[in-house]
């Protein structure tokens, strides 16, 4: 853990991984709406969050099951 009001490489990596998971969740939601022709409407933020969680679970499973 870094000192207060500063970031180290480990913090930067965690931030980037979190951002990547959010981007993947948004991309999967876009694909769901486009390919599946599903209109999510007000549920779009919930679906983005769920896809992000699923992407994170998949990442952890694939990277830590070696």
What are the tens digits of pLDDT across the range 11-58? 888 889 889 888 988 998 888 888 878 888 899 889 888 999 998 898
Task: Round to whole Å and give the CA distance between 13 and 7.
Answer: 10
- What local confidence, expressed as pLDDT, does residue 35 receive? 84
pTM for this predicted structure: 0.69
C-alpha radius of gyration, the chain, whole number: 15
């Amino acid at each position: 853990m870094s000192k207060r009001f500063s970031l180290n490489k480990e913090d930067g990596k965690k931030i980037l991984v979190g951002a990547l998971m959010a981007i993947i969740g948004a991309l999967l939601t876009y694909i769901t709406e486009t390919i599946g022709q599903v209109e999510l409407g007000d549920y779009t933020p919930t679906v983005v969050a769920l896809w992000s969680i699923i992407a994170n679970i998949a990442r952890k499973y694939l990277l830590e099951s070696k």
